[in-house]
Chains A and B, each alone.
Chain A
Amino acid sequence: MPTSLGVLPDQQAVCEKPPAFASQMDYFRSRLGADQTIEWLRKKKAVGLKVIGLPGWSVPVEIVLAAGGVPVRLSGIWEEAKHFRRELPRDICPLAASFFLGAESLSREGLLDVAVVPGTCDWKRKLNDLLAEDTKVLTLQAPPSENLGFLSKDLRNFAREIALITDLPVVSRNLKFASAEIARVDEAFAALHRLRRHPTCALSGEDALAVEEALMRDDLSRWTERCRTLIRLLEEESAMTEDSPSDRAPRIFLAGSPVIWDRGNLVHLIEKAGGKVVCNDFHSCLTSLYAPEISPARDDVAFSTLPLRWARSCFCSAVGEDEGLIFRAIEDFRVEGVVGHTYRACGRLQMRMSSFLRRARDSGIPSLAVETEGDSNDTERLLTRIEAFIEMLFARRRSGA
């Protein structure tokens, strides 16, 4: 077999060796199938718990926990949900569709008590209307401002609505316990991402994505425990590995539309082409890394402190919202190239992305714009661009640019 110039022979040899942390990764990857999520939720329903479907981590999960609800991530089970598919437009935002189809499939299994859906764009708002025909829906608007008083009121309303479903009011004591649990998750999440700054960290971008996607597809405490074990194993592995700067894969920051695990996984393509995704701006990765102070783990936790976390959350992409954090990460993670991903259906992000990538280039970071439809139909064409980009980064490194 010919070798790609993007992957040096030495790296291929390293990739073939099974890493010591692989057994921990088996747990996270096993949580990504719809069957496992359904089985887990059946057990929760069997003991009378209420299931609250969420778009991701960027929502006030502590309120759901404090009200005794089980938070479950709805996006990313597209393939399994295909047979429930209604007449959706062809050019729909894959992220919104993934969330919608996940909610619909769980609802039909009788495993969803309410879907908390973001109303951050027209796609999501219209899909919410459609979803509301068969499923109870709570629309959560994006934080309108950093006015904490306003946000606090918003969250109280949200807590009241959730309490109506779970029959358990959100009281201060429960909120404190829930917030402590969220803080433990955030801490593990941030520690895992911090580890990726090290050049010898063996965790691939695809592994990291699997860990992120597994969150809220099992009990949070179990996820946290597994994540801590993974971090320990990675630290041990990293300490034993010798860094070889010239041979290692170019370090990539993936910005823009969040990648959906089972829908044309862009992280997989970048790493197949010989790069390594070391950081991204979706799933609140940057928020957990750079704003630990917003985790309300303090004793005085109450509705007055929760808005801090909520105000910094983002449903889709930090591009355009908080580019300062991205540029900080680019420096911290010694990023060599930025891939800016947008879904074809999201014109709003495309406009922001082009100016962001221009700024990245102006600051000396090579960048590549990638537009996808969130499926695997265009893989080969996409791979050509990514391979060329990785070759460009290798050539740049060799030339000392």
Chain B
Amino acid sequence: MSLVAGVDVGSTTTKVVLIEDSQVLAAEVCATGANCRKAAHALLAAALQSSGRERSEVRSVVSTGYGRKLVDFADEIVSEITANARGAVWLHRGEVPVRTIIDVGGQDSKVICVDRSGLVTNFAMNDKCAAGTGRFLEVLSRILEIDLDQLGEISLKSRKRLEISSVCTVFAESEVVSLISQGKSVEDIVAGLHKSVARRVGDLVTTVGLQEAVFFDGGPALNCGLIKAFEEELGVSLIVPESPQIVTATGAALVASDSLSDKASRDRIKPPSP
């Protein structure tokens, strides 16, 4: 029995997942804030408490995400691309294996291609601009004075989706201010914002090539309006897990488990000491 932890320190939220014997024991999410290290420590403590386990029982911790190098209790670090792919492939065990993964995070969007065995074969990430990321929706929802978690439902009521820049968050912001002053409906503006993110991520998908089944995760995958916009843009149905925010942390925990297994096999084949 090996209890392992995955810690995903994202730009917006930090996630911790505890796994034992291929079962998720606990998953916690909190805002990262200004102190990544503190958030990671607090969240691991919360996950251990909710699962009734002790820190000393955790055999290995793998950290990932933009703050991965700041997690001082991690045994290994791994990029979010490797962790996300591992998590997505493990979480989706459908008949058609996952071949393309779209992960939209707070400041990064990634599209990852995996082969039939779940091995990463190619990936693409957005460049410096926040267009096409969760931050884009966060900034724009503030302008519209709408809670982030309401954007999805609101956009589904749209009758005539508006066109909004997918190139730059700042341009989009001034466009939205202008649309508000023209009296355009909030529903149509929000639908336009989702379309803008979908176009941007669609460009990344084009770069790596689309293959079904397509998995969509990251915090913005909780937004039903965004899922609809992505499906329209890509012309495919998306597989969205129940808790899309914790896919990368789950993958990190699985990498920790893999490392323990690798180490165990290496130890088994070691020649006996003379």
Contacts and interface: CB of A to CB of B under 8 A. Distances in A.
Given A4-B77, A387-B79, 17 more contacts: A2-B74, A4-B76, A361-B122, A366-B122, A371-B127, A378-B128, A380-B66, A381-B128, A384-B79, A388-B82, A388-B120, A391-B79, A391-B81, A391-B82, A392-B81, A395-B119, A401-B119
A395 B122 contact: no
A84 to B, nearest CB: 28
A2 B75 contact: yes
Closest CB pairs A-B (n = 4): A388-B81, A388-B79, A2-B74, A387-B79
Contacts of A401: 119
Contacts of B124: 369
A3 B78 CA distance: 9
Central interface residue in A4, A361, A378, A388, by most chain B CB within 10 Å: A388
A126 interface: no
B189 interface: no
A384 B112 CA distance: 14
B103 to A, nearest CB: 12
Given A2-B74, A366-B122, A399 B128 contact: no
A3 B76 contact: yes
Contacts of B63: 2
A119 B78 CA distance: 44
A374 to B, nearest CB: 14
A249 B16 CA distance: 30
Contacts of B119: 392, 395-396, 399, 401
Interface in B215-246: none
B66 A395 contact: no
A371 B126 CA distance: 11
A5 interface: yes
B121 interface: yes
Interface in A332-365: 361
14 contacts: A2-B74, A2-B76, A3-B76, A4-B76, A4-B78, A361-B122, A384-B81, A387-B79, A388-B123, A392-B82, A392-B119, A392-B120, A395-B82, A399-B117
Contacts of A391: 78-79, 81-82, 120
A385 interface: yes
A264 B72 CA distance: 27
B66 A384 contact: yes
Contact of B82 (A5, A361, A380, A399): A5
A391 B127 CA distance: 20
Contacts of B108: 381, 384
Central interface residue in A2, A371, A380, A384, by most chain B CB within 10 Å: A2
Contacts of B43: none
Nearest to B70: A2
Nearest to A399: B119
B125 interface: yes
Nearest to A1: B72
A5 B82 CA distance: 10
Contacts of A369: 124, 207
A366 B128 contact: no
A4 B71 CA distance: 12
B255 interface: yes
Contacts of A371: 127
B28 interface: no
B128 A5 contact: no
Given A371-B127, A388-B123, A5 B81 contact: no
A380 B68 CA distance: 11
Interface in A1-22: 2-5
A388 B77 CA distance: 11
A2 B71 contact: yes
B107 to A, nearest CB: 9
